[in-house]
Chain A
Amino acid sequence: MAQAETSFATPPAYDTARIRASIEAVAIPLGALVASAIIFSVFLTLLGKSPLQFFELVWRGGFGSSFSLQNTLQRATPLILTGLAFAIPARIGLVMIGAEGALVIGGFAAAALAIPLVSAEAPVYLTMLLMVLIAMAAGGAWNAIAGWLKHSRGVNETISTLLLTYIAIAIMNFFVEGALRDPASQNKPSTMPIGKDYMVGNIPGTDVHWGLVFGLVLAVALQVLMSRTTFGFAARVTGGNPRAALAQGLPVGTLIVVCSAIAGACAGLAGYFEVAAIHGQANASLVAGYGFTGILVAFLARHNPLMIVPVAIMFGAIEASGGLIQRRMDMPDATALVLQGIIFVVLLASDSLYGRFAIFQPKISTERT
């Protein structure tokens, strides 16, 4: 059937090649996951712990009951957004690790904007909308600084985003401990609470806030943007070879700044949900490391926006079961980090396997890059 449809434009072999490539793109990360599980099992066995019990607990703590599943989804929610914040610049060839800073600045901006709106008793939905917009704008603008520095001054974007993260945290602390501090927050400086009425609720029937739905929608939207539009194509070309892109007349600078801004906006949105769905105010608790875990998530998803969703859920499950593992197996909290680390290293190593397996290779050569 597929042949009949496509025989006009492309030779049938091209289709098989695409399918084989898709299978390869799924099989290699899956194989890497299995390999990580085996390495981790050896590690557990050496410590005298049962790998079987470990994976059984991960299943029970992560998916085994409706409570566990909701626990997993709740923890996955910020990771979807921060994963997207790493993946989008990665598609254009930038390694931007500043999602943590954009999250903090976005969440803080939302909480700061809420102070006058809440005290003026502004309409709830309008307030929410404005808070979302300012969070995304603030996070986006913050990350765009790094994009602009990269393009106009040649500043390494990895270093600048990392440093901008420290600056973002310092700015939040400066205001939260000074001008915008709620006098009632004596021992934990925070901004004024936005109040229950202005907070985002849970998805009906669950314990998971609406951030999950926003994350899913954004993942789909960004997948479409990056793989089905001219913008996405131009971004990928730039990622492949910036000089060639320039030679073709692509607006490389604009593309870099826009991709940085999209990434920052995703992280800023995560910050909004931390403030509006979880804490109800901005304080040092916003700095929870979601931005950095998002890097792992994006890598594991191979910077594919859609793949970020299942990967974030897997990380959510590992974190959700972390407590159970500490309690039942008497293992330190770092156990989950060891597993995450092994997955990360094996996955990076598996990158060199692409194109090495004959079974995934097309029979005749095509123009596939």
Chain B
Amino acid sequence: MATKQISRRSILKTGAAGIAAMALPMPFIKAASAADGVVLGAVYVGPRDDFGWNQAHAVAMEILKSTDNVTVIEEENVPETDSVSKSMESMINLDGANLILGTSFGYFEPFMIDLANKYPDVQFRHAAPLWSEDKHPANLGSYFCYLNQAHYVDGVAAGLSTTTNKIGFVAAKPIPTVLSNINSVLLGARSVNPNVEVQVIFTGDWSLPVREAEAANALVDAGCDVLTCHVDGPKVVIETAEGRGVKSCGHNASQAALAPKGFITGAEYKWETIYSMYADMLAKGETLPNVVVGGYHNDMVKNTAYGAGATPEAIAAADAAIAGLKEGKPIYVGPLKDNQGNLVLDKTFDNYDPVLDGMNYLLEGVIGSIT
């Protein structure tokens, strides 16, 4: 009974504050929000220094910390259970967060959907293309970068770096985003070297360091002389490649420091583009877009600065590929067959075509199986 009263009172208070804020004239709001600033709360599923997905987000938030009137609050190692709701609610209730950024796939449903309904005055954005207008609340949204474009560039550089014509790919699970990255590496490599094959090993889960090391070693043993990957923390794969004396391409964040001899380049997110846009818009009192997606054409992905493993030819070809992607040059130039011989893409598709989001095949030229 007592708890009910308190929570009702706090809801009333929040509601009253919201109504009061809306009733105030515009200039006043600006002054008020300038005083309070914008509070961005980011929640990560793993540690901030994982050399991968979480680090990519944390690096972007770190850049925002130096912005005036922007307060960044973060929480790491939050599992995809009801802990995430509570972490986010705590950021709202105790730290006054205006925008909550959920960076792990499983945070969205049901946790962020429920929270968005519960806190209509707070904005929620989630890092995967899951939001849809007719199903989800208006203060919730999605942002996502097509990293496969940067993997395509990896492929171009790798295609000119391999002497055995075999690129090794350590992958977590056979889901569409991973498959698209594998296929993009293949298409990038084949665009400069038609004899290249990509050999893939699925480890079965996002973070299995021992199995990732085994897979990386097995790929080198099978004759691959460039390795790349799509797992949560690419550290193990890149270090194993360096240790075995083969070249490597990174994923998610910069792994250049892990492979001073063999690192070519890597596919990296530029979340800071999205996060600073959100902070700017909130500071100006503008409504945030529900969906933000992008790739090279709008500065949302990048390739890691070339390492010692990149030859001048590879650099030239990769730079040309980046220029092409910025102009919207398509990666999936049809018709394309999968590695079972079935026609899967009958024509050329734009890099953002939704058809590609449901990818469930490996293209011809990839050695491996998704079942």
Chain A residues with a Cβ under 8 A of chain B = 60-61, 65-71, 74-75, 173, 177, 186-189, 205-206, 274, 278-280, 283-285, 288-289, 319-320, 322-324, 326-327, 332-333
Contacts and interface: CB of A to CB of B under 8 A. Distances in A.
Nearest to B108: A188
A75 B3 CA distance: 17
Contacts of B69: none
A327 B89 CA distance: 13
Contacts of A278: 81-82
14 contacts: A68-B90, A75-B86, A188-B105, A205-B4, A206-B3, A206-B4, A284-B205, A285-B81, A288-B79, A324-B90, A324-B94, A327-B73, A327-B95, A332-B48
Nearest to B95: A327
Contact of B76 (A60, A206, A333): A333
Q: Which of A187, A205, A279, A320 has the most CB of B within 10 A?
A: A187
A186 B81 CA distance: 19
A274 B86 contact: no
Interface of B: 1-4, 6-7, 10, 47-48, 73-83, 86-87, 89-91, 93-95, 105-106, 110, 128, 173, 175-177, 204-205, 358
A324 B91 CA distance: 8
Q: Which of B10, B48, B80 has the most CB of A within 10 A?
A: B80
Contacts of A69: 3
Contacts of A288: 79-81, 83
A289 B367 CA distance: 35
Given A66-B3, A67-B7, A327-B95, A189 B175 contact: yes
Contacts of B175: 186-189
Nearest to B128: A187
Task: Give the secondary structure class of A's interface.
Answer: helix
Closest 8 CB pairs of A and B: A205-B4, A333-B77, A285-B80, A66-B3, A66-B6, A323-B75, A327-B73, A288-B79
Contact of B177 (A187, A323, A327): A187
A173 B204 contact: yes
Contact of A323 (B81, B82, B90, B106): B90
Contacts of B79: 285, 288-289
Nearest to B130: A187
A209 B317 CA distance: 57
A173 B89 CA distance: 30
Given A206-B4, A324-B90, 12 more contacts: A66-B6, A67-B89, A187-B105, A187-B128, A187-B175, A188-B105, A189-B175, A274-B81, A279-B81, A288-B79, A327-B74, A333-B47
B247 to A, nearest CB: 29
B82 A67 contact: no
A186 B74 contact: no
Nearest to B360: A186
A200 B233 CA distance: 36
A334 B105 CA distance: 23
B94 A70 contact: no
A283 B106 contact: yes
Nearest to A278: B82
Contacts of B205: 173, 284
A292 to B, nearest CB: 12
Nearest to A71: B86
Contacts of A284: 106, 205
A280 B110 contact: yes
Q: Which of B3, B79, B128, B358 has the most CB of A within 10 A?
A: B3
Nearest to A327: B73
Contact of B87 (A187, A280, A323): A323
A324 B79 CA distance: 16
Nearest to A70: B3
Contact of B91 (A189, A285, A319, A323): A323
